[in-house]
Structure 1
Amino acid sequence: MKAWLLKDFGLHNLVFGEVPTPTPKPGELLIKVGAVSLNFRDKAIVDGIYAPETIPKPVIPVSDAAGVVIAVGDGVTRFKVGDRVNAHFYSRWIDGAPDANESAYSFGAPLPGGLAEYMIIHEESAVRAPGNLSDVEASTLPIAALTAWYSLMDVGHFKAGQTVLVQGTGGVSIFAIQIASAAGARVIVTSSNEKNLAKAKALGASEGINYTTHPQWEKKVLELTGGKGVDILLDVAGGNGLNQSVLATKVGGVIVQIGFLAGQTTALELMPVIFRQTTIRGVAVGHRTSFERMNAFLNEHKIRPVIEHVYGFQEAIQAYEHLARGPFGKVVINVADDASR
């Protein structure tokens, strides 16, 4: 089969070639990949800044895939040939609290990912793709949508009428705006781009804050919330800006730490955390049960992913370069579109 292989760190080491098509073992599904979507994790893996010691080389990258089952191994009962499925990023995390080794069973490294014509998914790791979404659309769900959903519903225990702050307008953030607003939240979004703030409002955000115009954006949040702060804050930036997130969150509020765009370390001021009794919870995606609940919600509320650009299978390098520029929403690679055929 045709596949992209990361042979070493650096985008110039992502190479298009051929590898043997895998055969499903007992309990496994062979998926004909329709499309994959890119996340910041995928770029960080290629750049060598995402737990580099855990990345096998070569590896087929990209965790998020959607496609159709074309063969099954012995004993498979959850799916049949012809079913459309998503890969679930943490392939063994089905429900409840995560185990310490979930990352050892994640697609796109160390497990082979979806940037290939075919991939293997264990039947317990697969999630039925929403029938109202194409493969291109469904491919955006496993990390970006599920991270937003799990952060809001399973960690933040969101209730209608609460105020949610979302940082930025990347994949996770856009899904968070769509999900939270559909669930009855007042959503505040931060960005350095006025056009993106306008687009976020069109998707359901109530207010937007330009953090270049308002570098002390937490004060603007307090102004908008009558001095109280937000109930739930999704922090995708990390770095020392986490201190501003603490001040922007209400007493007893929840900060969900999702990303590290501004840095993987922080000098956290403890006294505000203590006095405000802030919960800071790290989140790495979510479990399969939450994924299934999310798909039902997306279908009920007719939420469709925001996709900035779809690239062909041969254009993976361009897709990664686009991701590095900071898209509004998702960047997708249509694996079924292979110009070399």
Structure 2
Amino acid sequence: MIVKTIEIKKPGGIENLSLTDIEQPQVVPGKVLVRWRATSLNFHDYLVASGLLPVANGRVPMSDGAGEVVAVGEGVTQWRPGDKVMSVFFPNWLDGRPSLEKMSAILGETVDGCASEYTCLPANALTAMPDHLEFTEAATLPCAALTAWRALVEEGGLKAGDTVLIEGTGGMSIAALQIAKASGAFVFATSSSDHKLEQLKALGADELINYREDPKWGKTVNRLSSGGVDHVLDVGGEATLSQSVAAARIDGNVSLIGVLGGFKARISLPTIFQKNLHITGIAVGSQKMQSDMVSAYNASGIKPVIDQSFGLSELGEAFQYQELGEHFGKIVVEI
């Protein structure tokens, strides 16, 4: 059977994404054939598709996927046809701390991703979907939501009554807001748009700051939180890290997650020493972390926020929309 897939053609560029006909993959021992129903856009996917992050010619992009199991290979016991599943960003990172070996396979970068109707992949490279979510909603979780989950829960030990600072209105930040509020935390949120701040408020954000109107918003958060917040999720890198450090409390957690504002940052090292800050680089998480997050989503009923949906043949247009930076929540592609 002929199926559709997207391939990256050298030298890259979203205008060169190629919708291609291929033979449907066949299931083999130890692997699972999945019919993908949706994927979602992350900044990592944009780097791959645009050619800023070089990949092999013909690579299938997109790290996030939600779909259903079609067939299972010999030796596979944890999945059955009809199971609803999600991809795992690092297929070889099943549990424990990160390592080079565990992180060598990256879906949509070093191995083929989810921009395809069908993929045959290792049985351990999947988790179940949350029971209450549609495919489009579940497809937003494997990268953005898991990054937020790991930063707050796995690394930060989030608990009720903690204070959290999220920056902007991308998928990771909104997932962090939802996870934090479901855990009983108090959330500070920043944006350059008053309209988006109102949307964040509707999702439960407790204190709102327009960073364009308040260039020293880090100090403002520190003051409003009576000495700094417990958890800061930094997504801007060069543009935001000094403010994130200012916002954090003594012995607080600063998670370095994104570089949307630049790849290099200048910060005051004495401030980090004096505050005894825990600064952690976060690159998604393991299969076990994702399974734990799914359990939390099932218990809390969290529903991801979707901004706009595109078709598989419109993946290039979806990335062009992402470039505008006007979305609130996740951009998804239905397959």
What is the TM-score with the length of structure 2 in the denominator?
0.96
Specify the alignment match of 2:126 in structure 1: 126
**Aligned ranges 1:74-223 → 2 under 5 Å:** 74-223=74-223
Q: Does structure 2 conserve the Cα–Cα contact (< 8 Å) formed by 1:240 and 1:267?
A: no
Specify the alignment match of 1:31 in structure 2: 34
Partner Cα distance (2:268, 2:102) in 1: 30
Specify the alignment match of 1:7 in structure 2: 9
Task: Flag structure 1 segments of 5+ consecutive residues without an equivalent.
Answer: 336-341
Farther off after superposition, 56-65 or 262-271: 262-271
Are residues 42 and 78 of structure 1, via their aligned partners in 2, closer, same or farther at CA, if it must alter by over 3 Å?
A: same
Specify the alignment match of 2:20 in structure 1: 17
Partner Cα distance (2:260, 2:189) in 1: 16
Partner Cα distance (2:68, 2:251) in 1: 45
Letter aligned with residue 167 of structure 1 = E
Task: Specify the SS of the correspondent of 1:233.
Answer: strand
| CA displacement at 1:240 relative to structure 2 | 5.0
Specify the alignment match of 1:334 in structure 2: 334
Farther off after superposition, 208-217 or 17-26: 17-26
Task: Specify the SS of the correspondent of 2:240.
Answer: helix
**Aligned ranges 1:302-317 → 2 under 5 Å:** 302-317=301-316
Please provide the CA RMSD for this pair.
1.2
Deviations 1:158-177 (A, max 9, x none): 11101000011100000000
Deviations 1:167-195 (A, max 9, x none): 11100000000110110000001110111
Deviations 1:71-127 (A, max 9, x none): 111100110111111011110111110111344211111111111110122111110
| CA displacement at 1:245 relative to structure 2 | 1.1
Deviations 1:242-286 (A, max 9, x none): 122111100110100000001111223211111111111000001
| Percent identity for Structure 1 against Structure 2 | 40
Specify the alignment match of 2:298 in structure 1: 299
Q: Does structure 1 conserve the Cα–Cα contact (< 8 Å) formed by 2:93 and 2:103?
A: no
Task: Flag structure 2 segments of 5+ consecutive residues without an equivalent.
Answer: none
Q: Does structure 2 conserve the Cα–Cα contact (< 8 Å) formed by 1:5 and 1:17?
A: yes
Letter aligned with residue 33 of structure 1 = W
Q: Across the two proteins, how many residue pairs are aligned to each other?
A: 331
Partner Cα distance (2:17, 2:312) in 1: 13
Q: Does structure 2 conserve the Cα–Cα contact (< 8 Å) formed by 1:87 and 1:121?
A: no
Partner Cα distance (2:295, 2:154) in 1: 15
Letter aligned with residue 19 of structure 2 = F
Partner Cα distance (2:28, 2:271) in 1: 53
Partner Cα distance (1:102, 1:143) in 2: 16
Partner Cα distance (1:219, 1:268) in 2: 14
Partner Cα distance (1:222, 1:122) in 2: 46
Q: Does structure 1 conserve the Cα–Cα contact (< 8 Å) formed by 2:89 and 2:106?
A: yes
Specify the alignment match of 1:257 in structure 2: 256
Specify the alignment match of 2:231 in structure 1: 232
Partner Cα distance (1:104, 1:22) in 2: 23
Task: Specify the SS of the correspondent of 1:127.
Answer: strand
| CA displacement at 1:22 relative to structure 2 | 1.9
Task: Specify the SS of the correspondent of 2:173.
Answer: helix
Q: Does structure 1 conserve the Cα–Cα contact (< 8 Å) formed by 2:35 and 2:67?
A: yes
Letter aligned with residue 113 of structure 2 = G
Letter aligned with residue 125 of structure 2 = S
